[in-house]
Structure 1
Amino acid sequence: MSSPESPVVVVGAGIIGLSAAWHLAGLGQRVLLLDSGTVAGGTTTAGAGFVGQWAAGYAWYWNESERDVEQYGIDFYRDLAGAGHGPTGYRQNGNVWLTVTERGRADHLPPFEQHPLRPAGARTLTPAEAADLVPGLDPAAVTAGFLHPDGIQISAPDTARALTASARARGVEIREHTPVSGLEARDGSVTGLRTAGGEVISADRVVLAAGSWTNALLAPFGRELPTVRVVASRLVTTPFGLPGSLPTLMLPELHGLWVREHRGGLTYGAGPGYEPLHVGGADRRDEPARRPVRTDLLDAMRTYLHPIVARLLPAAASVLGVDETPTQGVVSMTADRNFIVGAVPELRGLVVAGGDNESGVTHGPGLGRIAAELSVTGTTTVGDASRYAPARFPAAAPTEAEVVAMMPARREADARRAGAVS
């Protein structure tokens, strides 16, 4: 049991850490939340802010557990938007998957059409039906579509600010610009942590939600997570009158292209804007920049995407490449593409929540809840915690290049071609 004067300390104030702190306070805990910079000033700020049930046809390696975590996030953001803690940009616009070739239609739509977790109201779209749902879409540019009507959009930075206000209203103490340099332990149990300024904070329960910075804190205790840190990029155009009702568009056959409306313009991204940090020679314990600047990735993404987006949404052609605003962050992908949330076997009292798999905004509320409940009760009421336990991996992690080689194929069609699924 924790001593009355000792808080539960959460390290990392991204969306997962904020959620963990919020849920811990809701469980009656005194909570101290620390971040090395500003709240949600790292990868969360770069979040594109579209949320959906990816386990129902898009992420073939996920099941009911991830679907439940996703639905929890959808409900959480709806409730937060109505709680009066500030604007969140919440809207239920739905998610529309599109294909641009007949091969793409055959490869990527059946997993949605046949999925046992297919949500109510989901349906296949002809090109004309897709154009009716997607303002400005040229139906001649697509071969088919599929609608998940319950998908939502939020502003990740605005939502983080609203969640911060809600957490503070619950009594969470938040300290910004307080880097943690190490964990304190005795006899196999966590006893607190040290800040870069030399302060020692006593705590017999810690939730480590530091994203791509997690392994540097875990390594001294013989545990590292099998993750690979990846620079993720997106672009934001100037406004051109695009209506806010635009659903989030997903085109998996085009290097995972996604497109959504942003303040009358577009924000969009795809595979050419991504690169693992180790490709540039970074060691897994090197601390990445909170907000990296990789102009080469942005240029590659522009070259690939501008003609594609202009074909899909002809009205966007005039603004593509004109004063576009880039945003980049560092996401953590895991060896099995599932999340890592749970007790660290080597250190009692320590719960880790990491490996966002580039879907931290979608899953952050649920993963934060799981981390909080495991820290307080040892069990959770959302999802299957055994799927996320750090102990499913060996304590000694492979290199980041080896993690990439271990990861299952991103698309079910690719996995089928490789013989990974029947």
Structure 2
Amino acid sequence: MSSPDSPTVVVGAGIIGLSTAWHLADLGQRVVLVDSGPAAGGTTTAGAGFVGQWAAGYAWYWNESERDVEQYGIDFYRRLAESGHGPTGYRRNGNVWLTVTEQGRADHIPPFEDHPLRPAGARTLTPAEAADLVPGLDPSAVTAGFLHPDGIQISAPDTAAALVGALRAKGVAIREHTAVAGLEARDGSVTGVRTAGGEVIDAARVVLAAGSWTNALLAPLGRELPTVRVVASRLVTKPFGLPGTLPTLMLPELEGLWIREHRGGLTYGAGSGYEALHVGGADRGTDPARRPVRTDLLDAMRTSVHPIVARLLPAAASVLGADETPTQGVVSMTADRNFIVGPVPELAGLVVAGGDNESGVTHGPGLGRIAAELSVTGTTTLGDPSRYDPARFPARAPSEADVVAMMPARREADARRAGATA
């Protein structure tokens, strides 16, 4: 049985769990962080590592609350890079959205230009201006661009490792290779977690940040999150002399293609490299370490993306497909494309933090802060917690296929078209 002196247990050592533990420690809590594998060894290490104010023109379903969480992440990573806990790959390179057709320009540039949250220094780019900002870009391959100058890049694996080191320095106990099999409770309150080996770790409170595996722990309580687990893929080319000043490039009209520099080469991803886990059979192609191995998705992405990247950045043509390194993880998308962070109504003392919506690296620091503050004080000073409250959804979630059908369109232009035909 737990006592008031028992620690707060955080389940899951990805970016959201690491951040939660960080902020709990800052709130004076004794913290035990538990993960079924190595700390920072799951989906977070597959993160592309670019961070920006997506709520200011890109993700039309987000507002000031998400913008504030995003800005908190930008500031958090800068402070972490300055703290000396380890290399993070932090760079303030900015984010540049590009369009390649006139229809794409008409669809995707005005939402940035007219957005009420437009950040200082943001501006529309002609093709020539985009080429001045983007080393190696062929201006004839694009029709317009838009710059957010404060976007940053980090190395997700290096940053996660730096956070692990910082947490140990703060006195956080990290239990690796310790799978949690269930929750312990008494009189309607959480009292600890039970490991797969049968050990009970007492806890004054628990935060579940287990990513796409959170529902397995919540289901016995009669609570499920309306999420869909999705395989996300990216590829990394060999170095070819690309300068580290390249901004993160986003091409929303091309399956959400994104491109950034990585150690003198490129890393990139697009919609053709994504598929929900339930398609073709539950957890198809997932290895015992919970990392997906889907060569079919990687091949589809190469086929669709290589010609586009070669047109945009001609110098990359020689390395595309030449011993590229794949990285895949499982992201958790929610029914309304917003995050799920807050107390679980069925069990006092239990907070859940999940539903990364493929943006856990950007939002992880802020979501971890919200989870920690809600766990300890019942309130938060960041964002609007009502937008993330698990209780906004029914206790029983629909199937993952139904969750996909419920999700709003990814692009504002698609949402407008859907509304016009409804």
Task: Specify the TM-score bucket, using the shorter chain as the normaliser.
Answer: over 0.9
Contact 2:95 2:148 in 1 (8 A): yes
User: Which residue in 1 is equivalent to 2:204?
Assistant: 204
Which residue pairs with 2:192 in the alignment?
A: 192
Amino acid at match of 2:393: F
Find the residue that maps to 1:96 and give its secondary structure.
strand
| Residue in structure 2 matched with residue 409 of structure 1 by the alignment | 409
Amino acid paired to 1:164? V
Change (3 A) 1:420 1:79: farther
The aligned residue for residue 271 of structure 1 is: 271
Aligned-partner residue type, residue 199 of structure 1: E
Taking the aligned partners of 1:164 and 1:317, their CA distance within structure 2 comes to 37
1:187, distance to aligned residue in structure 2 (A): 2.1
Report the Cα distance in structure 2 between the residues aligned to 1:173 and 1:44, rounded to whole angstroms.
20
C-alpha distance after superposition, 1:187-233 (max 9, x if no partner): 22111111011101111300000000100000000000000000000
Is 2:289 aligned against 1:292?
Answer: no
| 3-state DSSP of counterpart to 2:19 | helix
1:258 equivalent to 2:278? Answer no
CA contact (8 A) 1:415 1:421 kept: no
Amino acid at match of 2:35: D
Conserved in 2, the CA contact under 8 Å of 1:332 and 1:357?
yes
2:131 alignment partner, SS class: helix
Taking a change above 3 Å as real, the CA distance of residues 67 and 14 of structure 1, as seen in their structure-2 partners, is: same
How far, CA to CA, are the matches of 1:96 and 1:305 in structure 2? 18
Aligned ranges 1:236-247 → 2 under 5 Å: 236-247=236-247
Match of 1:7 in 2: 7
Distance 1:242 1:65 in 2: 36
Where does residue 221 of structure 1 map in the other structure? 221
Q: 1:287 to 1:193 in 2, by over 3 A?
A: farther
Is 1:365 paired with 2:357? no
State the distance in 1 between where 2:81 and 2:109 align.
Answer: 32
Counterparts of 1:142 and 1:244 in 2: how far apart (Å)?
Answer: 22
Q: Secondary structure at the match of 1:279?
A: coil
CA contact (8 A) 2:229 2:331 kept: yes
Q: Which amino acid aligns with 2:131?
A: A
Alignment correspondent of 2:33: 33
Residue 278 of structure 1 aligns to which amino acid in structure 2? H
Within 5 Å, give how 1:81-120 maps onto structure 2: 81-120=81-120
Secondary structure class of the residue paired with 1:25: helix
C-alpha distance in structure 1 between counterparts of 2:117 and 2:288, whole Å: 37
What's the CA shift string for 1:14-68, capped at 9, x where partnerless? 0000000000000000000000001111100000000000000000000000000
Answering whether residue 28 of structure 2 is matched by residue 21 of structure 1, we say no
Cα displacement (A) at 1:395: 0.1
* Number of the residue aligned with 2:172: 172
Q: Name the counterpart of 2:160.
A: 160
1:231 and 2:231 are equivalent in the alignment: yes
Alignment match, 1:122: 122
- CA gap of 1:349–1:4, structure 2 versus 1, over 3 A, is closer
**TM-score, structure 1 as length reference:** 0.98
TM-score normalised by structure 2 residue count: 0.98
Q: List per-residue Cα deviations over 1:370-392 (Å, max 9, x = no partner).
A: 00000000000111000000000
Q: How many residues align?
A: 420
Task: Give me the whole-angstrom Cα distance separating, in 1, the residues matched to 2:157 and 2:228.
Answer: 24
Tell me the distance in 1 between the aligned counterparts of 2:331 and 2:288: 11
Cα distance, 1:353–1:86 mapped onto 2, change above 3 Å: same
Which residue does 2:49 correspond to in 1?
A: 49
Cα distance, 1:145–1:380 mapped onto 2, change above 3 Å: same
Using the alignment, how far apart are the partners of 1:120 and 1:3 within structure 2?
Answer: 49
CA deviation vs aligned residue, 1:312-351 (integer Å, no higher than 9, x gap)? 0000000000010000000000000000000000010000
Aligned partner letter, 1:159:
T
Matches within 5 A, 1:248-397: 248-282=248-282, 290-397=290-397
Q: Give SS of 1:124's match.
A: strand
Q: Percent same amino acid at aligned positions?
A: 88
Shift of 1:121: 0.1
Partner of 1:74: 74
Measure the CA separation in 2 of the matches of 1:329 and 1:288.
13
Superposed CA offset, 1:245-299 (max 9, x none): 0000000000000000000000000000000001122179x99852110000000
Paired residues of 2:231 and 2:276 also in contact (CA < 8 A)? yes
Counterpart residue identity of residue 141, structure 1: A
Cα 1:311/1:9, change in 2 over 3 Å: same
Query: 2:129 corresponds to which letter in structure 1?
Result: E
Aligned to 1:37, what secondary structure does the other structure show? coil
- Alpha-carbon distance between aligned partners in 2 of 1:217 and 1:421, rounded to the nearest angstrom: 41
Paired with 1:195 and 1:145, the residues of 2 have a C-alpha distance of: 50
Aligned-partner SS, 1:371: helix
Whole-Å separation in 1 of the counterparts to 2:329 and 2:42: 7
2:87 maps to amino acid = P
Q: Which letter does structure 1 place at the counterpart of 2:313?
A: L
Structure 1: gaps (5+ residues): none
> Which region of structure 1 is more displaced relative to structure 2, 412-421 or 131-140?
412-421
Identify if the C-alpha distance between structure 1 residues 249 and 185 changes in structure 2 by more than 3 Å, giving closer, same or farther.
Answer: same
Kept in 1, the 8 Å contact 2:37–2:289? The answer is: no
Q: Contact 1:135/1:243 (CA < 8 Å) preserved in 2?
A: yes
Change beyond 3 A, Cα 1:186–1:283: farther
